[in-house]
Structure 1
Amino acid sequence: MNSPLQPASALRLTSFSHGGGCGCKVAPGLLSEILRGVRGFPVPKELMVGIETADDAAVYRLNDEQALIATTDFFMPIVDDPYDFGRIAATNAISDVYAMGGTPIMALALVGMPIDKLPIEVIGKILEGGESVCAAAGIPIAGGHTIDSVEPIYGLVVMGLVHPDKVKTNAGARAGDVLVLGKPLGVGVMSAALKKGALGADGYAAMIASTTRLNTPGRRLANLDAVHALTDITGFGLLGHLLEVCRGAGLSAMLDMRSIPILADVERLATAGYITGASARNWAAYGGEVVLDPAIGQMQRALLTDPQTSGGLLVACEPAAVDDVLAVFRSEGFDSAAVVGRFESGSPQVRVAA
């Protein structure tokens, strides 16, 4: 079965990649091993955010009014349509700037393509898709770098600006804060179903709508003092990225499984076995820091560890600010944004109630 809306004779981009989207990320446990012996350059006082808490982007203070946000993200195809692949990759890369509370200002393209296997027009469509998203974000692609590679790879280096006093890191949560999730889960499940020809046209449309929606609320959330922490959910799944917030703040978190938004039909697909290998690797890496209610089954656990490509923002805010936070999301079209849990005192871990 071919991808939705794709003719039978069309070239399948996903056939070139061993893993797609943020599911390509190196597993959390292996990444920790790789980085264990890495010693960074002495940190200048202007570097406000570096690698210490595995945050979404680096932040460098320029002056009293401006800090520079710098980030990069790239991956192999998660869909077969080249234009959609470009859009998803660009949206995902830009998200890191919004997750720091910033406004993007410029991007550079990172392009690796099997030149002898992909037609030039297909590569061009990937770049056009990325350009369309950058145009929607109001930023230029000001340059980049291209290589001839075995697998198709596309992404961006993105730079943004934020006021130094309004930077939102993943380490500022406080006990009693409420957790708000901006997008539904399930992109990894949908991508697994797509690769096996089991995702229908409606499911594909929902997947594209989610993965190409820019996380623009981050800019406005930066102006709310009651928002204490911000990150986005990508390859390590909801549990993995929430654990990073817990470790950064030295807190425990409680999730309510019933409150977590899920993309339509994803539970059926997950039950049918359309689950990514990255989901299992994620659980193997950090499952020891998670306490699941006995009523939570394998399918639900897979959704909690499901790698999200261009996933939603995760917000930690004071309970009194929940309505304001949800209003920001709703005003920018994030109708599925929901309260999904809270932070508590205790050692870093996540407990999940059924």
Structure 2
Amino acid sequence: MTLPVGKPRLTQYAHGGGCACKIPPGELERVVAGLTGPAGADGSLLLGGQDGDDAAVLRIDGGRAIVSTADFFTPVVDDPYDWGRIAAANALSDVYAVGGEPVMALNLLGWPLDALAPELAREVLRGGRDTASDAGCPIAGGHSIDDPEPKYGLAVTGIADPARLLRLDAGRAGLPLSLTKPLGTGVLNARHRATGEVFAHAVDTMAALNATAGRQALERGISCATDVTGFGLLGHLYKLARASGVTAVVDAAAVPYLDGARDSARDGFVPGGSRRNLAWVSPAADFGRIAEQERLLLADAQTSGGLLVAGEIPGAPVIGELVERGRHVLVVR
């Protein structure tokens, strides 16, 4: 399916799309080195330090914690309503990824007023509102600027039980690794941007909330998880294994992919962010005989991907395990 003739293609108004437009992970770590806040003398900042957790978590009184995150990006699809849905789901995912429940959000909008009609911006905001409503999270205003590139996302506030969090540093040897959404949105979005082809199944995957997966992880006593977004499966798994002091072993044949993802990678629709992700993790990885194309798919820069959980939850395939730290932080077989 392709877009109707004459309809503005939002992806053509930005240099990159979705989470693939993130600052490369290695470069970002160098930029923020030494700038992340300490936990504080009272230990109230539970998450949000040097490990780069998905959201910040601050303990308050009454056995409660506040969760805070912000996430926005340039258009990942051309349909404004779908872009709004996807961007909202992606931002809300950060709260679910640490075991929280979103309670309020604020819009973050950049819009090229001289290039795109404000009615399109309204559709973006409507998509974000509808997805946040599905999450039971009201959007209470926000902030907008006139920007040469369109950008949209949310700043989200949530709540959590400080004794029941999902953390990057809580992985232990012997735990299985489960993935709740298939990979491939990066290469499919790159194909969409280049050709105008619409992949409805990829849109549905990106717009789906991770609320159920986060709740199931907590119900099963799981304490280690992250979501898979711009740094790809390998990048986010590298951060988890590094923070936990273990080695992550991935069974490449067990990793699920969206229909068309392999064909898109074969045809060369690979985002620059995916290549940068692979370059970042390669010095710490043992890929054995895994081919370059397979490595790129495992490092594919995802937008609004699933949760990567150190444990098992219903319906999520097991794609590997954590083992005692060895020579490499990542091993792919």
Q: TM-score, normalised by structure 2?
A: 0.96
1:14 to 11, 14, 18: 11
Match of 1:31 among 28, 31, 43: 28
Which residue of the partner structure matches residue 350 of structure 1?
330
Question: How far off its partner does 1:37 sit?
Answer: 4.5
TM normalised by structure 1 equals 0.90
1:22-81 C-alpha deviation (Å, 9 max, x unpaired): 001100111122112526367252111122211000001112431111001000001110
Which residue is 2:283 aligned to? 288
Matched-pair identity in %: 42
Name the residue aligned to 2:183: 185
Contact 1:64/1:164 (CA < 8 Å) preserved in 2?
no
Q: Which residue of 2 aligns with 1:334?
A: none
Kept after mapping to 1: 8 A contact 2:39/2:46: no
Name the residue aligned to 1:220.
216
Amino acid of the residue matched to residue 90 of structure 1?
A
Instruction: State the secondary structure of the residue aligned to 1:18.
Output: coil
- Take 1:6 and 1:120, find their aligned partners in 2: how far apart are those partners? 20
The superposition leaves residues 288-342 of structure 1 with CA deviations (integer Å, 9 ceiling, x where unpaired) of: 1111021x2121111011001000100002xxxx3xx12xxx4xxxxxx200000
Aligned residue number for residue 303 of structure 2: 309
Note the alpha carbon deviations across 1:248-267, whole angstroms, 9 max, x for none. Answer: 11000110000000101211
- Give 1:343's aligned amino acid: L
Partner of 1:298: 292
CA–CA separation in structure 1 for the residues paired with 2:34 and 2:58? 24
- Give the CA deviation at 1:230: 1.0
* CA distance in 1: counterparts of 2:120 and 2:196, whole angstroms: 24
Q: 2 CA distance for matches of 1:79 and 1:340?
A: 28
Query: CA contact under 8 A between 1:101 and 1:220: conserved in structure 2?
Result: no
Cα deviation, residue 170, structure 1: 1.3
Query: Aligned equivalents of 1:288 and 1:78: distance in 2?
Result: 30
Given that residues 102 and 222 in structure 1 are in contact (C-alpha distance below 8 angstroms), is that contact kept between their aligned partners in structure 2? Answer: no
Answer yes or no: is the 8 Å Cα contact 2:39–2:45 preserved in 1.
no
The gaps in structure 1 that reach 5 residues or longer are 331-336
CA contact (8 A) 2:39 2:49 kept: no
Q: In the aligned structure 2, how far is the partner of 1:9 from the partner of 1:66?
A: 51
CA distance in 2, matches of 1:176, 1:64: 34
Cα pair 1:254 1:342 within 8 Å, conserved: yes
Cα distance in structure 1, aligned partners of 2:34 and 2:165: 29
Q: Partner of 1:73 in structure 2?
A: 71
Paired letter, 1:219? R
Q: What's the RMSD between the two structures over aligned residues?
A: 1.4
Match of residue 257 from structure 1:
252
Question: Structure 1's 103 and 11: CA in aligned 2 closer, same or farther, altered over 3 A?
Answer: same
1:125 paired to 2:123: yes
Q: Distance in 2 between matches of 1:235 and 1:341?
A: 20
Q: Is the 8 A contact 2:36 2:50 kept in 1?
A: no
**Structure 2: 5+ residue stretches without partners:** none
**Compared CA separation, residues 10 and 261, structure 1 to 2 (3 A):** same
Matched, 1:275 2:270: yes
Matches of 1:42 and 1:161, distance apart in 2: 18
**Residues 96/47 of structure 1: CA separation in 2 closer, same or farther (3 Å cut):** same
Q: Distance in 1 between matches of 2:294 and 2:39?
A: 43
Matched ranges for 1:85-234 at <5 A: 85-197=83-195, 199=197, 201=198, 204-216=199-211, 217-225=213-221, 227-234=222-229
Alignment of 1:22-61 (within 5 A): 22-38=19-35, 40=37, 43=40, 44-61=42-59
Count of aligned pairs between the two proteins: 330
One-letter identity of the residue aligned with 2:9: R
SS in 1 for 2:163: helix
Q: Distance between the aligned counterparts of 2:114 and 2:319, measured in 1?
A: 47
Are the aligned partners of 1:279 and 1:302 in contact in 2 as well (CA < 8 Å)? yes
